[in-house]
Amino acid sequence: MTRRFKQIDVFTSVPLKGNPLAVILDADGLGDEQMQSIARWTNLSETTFVLPASDPAADYRVRIFTTQEEFPFAGHPTLGTAHALLEAGLQPKTPGVLVQQCGIGLVPVRMAANGEHGALGFRAPPAQLDAMEIGLLPLLQATLGIGSLPAQHPPVVANMGICWLVVRLASAADCLAVVPDGVALAELMRRSASDGVAIYGAHAAGGPAGLEVRAFTVENGMLLEDPVTGSANACIARLLPGQDYRVRQGTAIGRDGRVTVVHDADGPWICGQSVTIIDGTLTC
């Protein structure tokens, strides 16, 4: 069967500088094993499958797969899927707002004033925030290759369907200097029950962004750095309530991802642009 397929570069307005996402726009009829096989084949961090919504408040339902497993929520797949659907002609039930149904429930995605070609933003889901066990500090230091952490910002395990161990460093320069240890990271993920470690540090005034962010995980036994991470940025935003700022991510691996965080009465919104790189069909 031939299905509509797009590959989207998320959190960038410049092709090949963001985080790629595969989107299967006609996923009705695919089983779990087929979806997992397709996600393994695309070999991207995530592949999304668009289905009819079962909740009348939603515009569509999405399932999100890595090469290994299904996630109930993830950030760049949320924005990338919304971009792909708008480009394909989806008209939301509420003008200016798409409502995504996924494993954690309903996630609203706002459109910019210039519609499908502008930035999109998803409302950060609620997060469970727990202090990291103090006994894990030596393992965290070994993972990041650092001797100390800012005492006023203890590491936090933030869970919003996907779980990040969030670590603030003293500066953006310190963030960029980290060379993580994959073996230690795998053990840290296991012991903290997290999907990876997200680190961040502030740029000096007048820098390229307010924060520099990096996110690391281990997949299939390999250390990976994520180019631009919506869920990690959403978790960080939950630790910085009321603050609006811009993020640069992916610098250390030759990307230039850009995220804007804005707050309103509903909490933080994680915003960014996306561009379509591949537009075609998938036969499976």
Indicate whether 154 and 262 sit together in one domain.
Answer: yes
At position 106, the amino acid (one-letter code) is L
Tell me the pLDDT tens digit for each residue of 227-271. Answer: 999 999 999 999 999 999 999 999 999 999 999 999 999 899 999
pLDDT of 284 = 86
Which residue stretches of 14-123 are H helix?
32-42, 75-87
Separation between Cα atoms, residue 264 and residue 284, nearest integer Å: 43
The two beta strands, 60-65 and 97-102, are: parallel
DSSP for 145-159 reads T-S---TTS--EEEE
Indicate whether 179 and 277 sit together in one domain.
Answer: no
Q: With a cut of 60, say whether residue 10 has pLDDT above it.
A: yes
pTM (two decimals): 0.96
Indicate whether 104 and 141 sit together in one domain.
Answer: no
Indicate whether 148 and 72 sit together in one domain.
Answer: no
Q: How many domains does the chain have?
A: 2
Its domain, for residue 223, covers 128-267
Alpha carbon 181 to chain centroid, angstroms: 22
Indicate whether 64 and 160 sit together in one domain.
Answer: no
Indicate whether 238 and 218 sit together in one domain.
Answer: yes
pLDDT of 112 = 76
Contact between residue 200 and residue 211 where contact means Cβ atoms under 8 Å apart: yes
Kindly tell me the burial class for residue 31, based on how many C-beta atoms sit within 10 Å of its own C-beta (0-12, 13-18, 19 or more): exposed
> Of residues 46, 70, 133, 187, which has the active-site annotation?
46
Indicate whether 117 and 91 sit together in one domain.
Answer: yes
Tell me the CATH number at 151. Answer: 3.10.310.10
Tell me the pLDDT tens digit for each residue of 158-182. Answer: 999 999 999 999 999 999 999 999 9
Give catalytic status of residue 187 as yes or no.
Answer: no
